[in-house]
Amino acid sequence: MIQDYFPIRGEAVKLDAQVMKRIAPLLRAADETRDENQLRMLKAFTSCGVAARHFSGTTGYGYNDDGRDKLEQVFAALTGSEAALCRHQFMSGTHTLAVALFGLLRPGDTLLCATGTPYDTLHGVLGLTGDKGGGSLAEFGVQYRQLELLDGRPDLTAIAEHAPGAKVLYLQRSRGYAARRALTLDDIEAAAGAAKAINPDIAVLVDNCYGEFVDREEPTHRGADLIAGSLIKNPGGGIAPTGGYIAGNAGLVDLCAQRLTAPGVGGEVGCTGEMLRSLYLGLYYAPGVVSDAVKTAIYASALFAEMGFEADPAPGAARGDIITAITLGSPGRLRALCEAIQAMSPVDSFAVPQPAPMPGYDSPVIMAAGAFTQGSSIELSCDAPMRPPYTAYLQGGLNFAATRAAILCAAKAVREVR
Ligand SMILES: *Cc1c(COP(=O)(O)O)cnc(C)c1O
């Protein structure tokens, strides 16, 4: 019982019970999604014949690295892809997406983004910020065209209008830190279909960060040519210490491999050292870990909505990612939330988060992240710009029993300040 370990009493215990009862069917649905994904995972491991010897990595160039090749075969099978790159040499999600974009696009090509302003860290890659230098796509003469979402969904008419002549259709599945909804697989299928109906050669690239295993399929099962993401988010299962992946059409994956290493060399190099076992194990655990993150999101949304705060998505709404935005309306409540989440983290629970300036943000940002892997956001974490309306973005959670307690304590702390 939470109250046996943490100072949760009376009203809060009642609130927790009430919310747990209300969301029980949603939690059961999350279990069913997890089970389906876990079976698809097991099938991928068994059909690819993963063996203990695949965990012993290589050094140097990493030629003939069977463990690396097998992991990529598993990743491809799992995502309904022809091929995959799944490597610790991807330094972040941003690096992975940059490799994919530079892999596919050439000077004079057009990149068509159909999900509004992309995730903040992509602005430098695309060259959206004032200075187009620094080796951005813009500096290399890649044209960029952006379509806004229409009622939260890709604008199919605008896609059909602009797809002719575009080389890549770019879709960001997760809301990121924007006031929009995450794309569902139906949205992705419709957008890919609309673009391909008019331009069969267009490559549909999905930024799949925060979306993996939230649903029962991946975008590559539903018309995307390529997906990319980070291994310190969903598909690393909280165990992968770093890395990223790109999966999909074999020819496109190879273009990305040529960009990741060197033209003419491609995916044949890249030693794996001591990494492989963590990447296999993390991937294998990922459906369960993501399911607990989704349950955390549902619980947080329901609890804060019950307390009268705006929580988005609503508890029962269709989910395409693991993020929940909670609007707290005051700097005091925002700080209280972040402090409580930090205090209930397994690592660095004694730290007190402080708002601080961050490159790319016009107001100080406060972050709670007591994580085993630095910056990992499949672990319970919360961040927010310190500005009205004081919206906190909450994501992750390795284990629902622990995150439920953390969020309940945070709700109590929020209630005690103005
Ligand atoms: C996290 C994220 C990225 C960038 O990943 P980093 O690992 O932070 O560089 C890109 N797009 C979306 C939607 C993300 O959530």
Sign of CA dihedral 86, 92, 95, 98: positive
**Helix 66-78 and helix 10-48, axial crossing angle in degrees, nearest 10:** 120
CA–centroid distance, residue 412 to ligand 1 (Å): 30
Strand positions, DSSP E, 221-309? 226-230, 244-248
The answer to whether 154 and 183 are in contact (CB under 8 A) is: yes
Q: Whose Cα sits closest to atom 12 in ligand 1?
A: 209
CB of residue 299 inside a 6 A radius of ligand 1? no
Can you give the length of the chain in residues?
418
CA–centroid distance, residue 349 to ligand 1 (Å): 25
Q: Which amino acid would we find at residue 303?
A: L
The whole-angstrom separation of Cα 123 and Cα 130 is 10
> Probe ligand 1: pick from 113, 174, 208, 374, max atoms within 8 Å of CB?
174
What's the order of all strands across the beta sheet hosting 381-385? 310-312, 324-327, 391-395, 381-385, 365-369
- Provide the 10 A C-beta neighbour count for residue 4: 6
The whole-angstrom separation of Cα 276 and Cα 386 is 39
pLDDT of 359 reads 75
CB of residue 172 inside a 6 A radius of ligand 1? yes
The answer to whether 390 and 331 are in contact (CB under 8 A) is: yes
Instruction: Determine the 3-state secondary structure of 383 from DSSP.
Output: strand
pLDDT of 357 reads 92
CA–centroid distance, residue 355 to ligand 1 (Å): 21
pLDDT of 176 reads 87
CB of residue 176 inside a 6 A radius of ligand 1? yes
Alpha carbon 144 to chain centroid, angstroms: 23
CB of residue 395 inside a 6 A radius of ligand 1? no
CA–centroid distance, residue 353 to ligand 1 (Å): 22
pLDDT of 12 reads 93
- Tell me, letter by letter, the H, E, C secondary structure of 306-374: HCCCEEECCCCCCCCCCCEEEECCCHHHHHHHHHHHHHCCCCCCCCCCCCECCCCCCCCEEEEECCCCC
> Which conformational region is residue 12 in: left (phi greater than 0), alpha (psi within -120 to 50 degrees), or beta?
alpha
CA–centroid distance, residue 93 to ligand 1 (Å): 5
pLDDT of 363 reads 86
**Helix 400-415 and helix 276-306, axial crossing angle in degrees, nearest 10:** 40
Tokens of 27: 């939690």
Local confidence pLDDT in tens for the 418 residues of the chain: 899 999 998 999 999 999 999 999 999 999 999 999 999 999 999 999 999 999 999 999 999 999 999 999 999 999 999 999 999 999 999 999 999 999 999 999 999 999 999 998 999 999 997 666 789 999 999 999 999 999 999 999 999 999 999 999 999 999 988 889 999 999 999 999 999 999 999 999 999 999 999 999 999 999 999 999 999 999 999 999 999 999 999 999 999 999 999 999 999 999 999 999 999 999 999 999 999 999 999 999 999 999 999 999 999 999 999 999 999 999 999 999 999 999 999 999 999 999 999 876 778 999 999 999 999 999 999 999 999 999 999 999 999 999 999 999 999 999 999 8
The whole-angstrom separation of Cα 62 and Cα 69 is 11
Q: Whose Cα sits closest to atom 8 in ligand 1?
A: 93
CB of residue 121 inside a 6 A radius of ligand 1? yes
CB of residue 266 inside a 6 A radius of ligand 1? no
The answer to whether 298 and 315 are in contact (CB under 8 A) is: yes
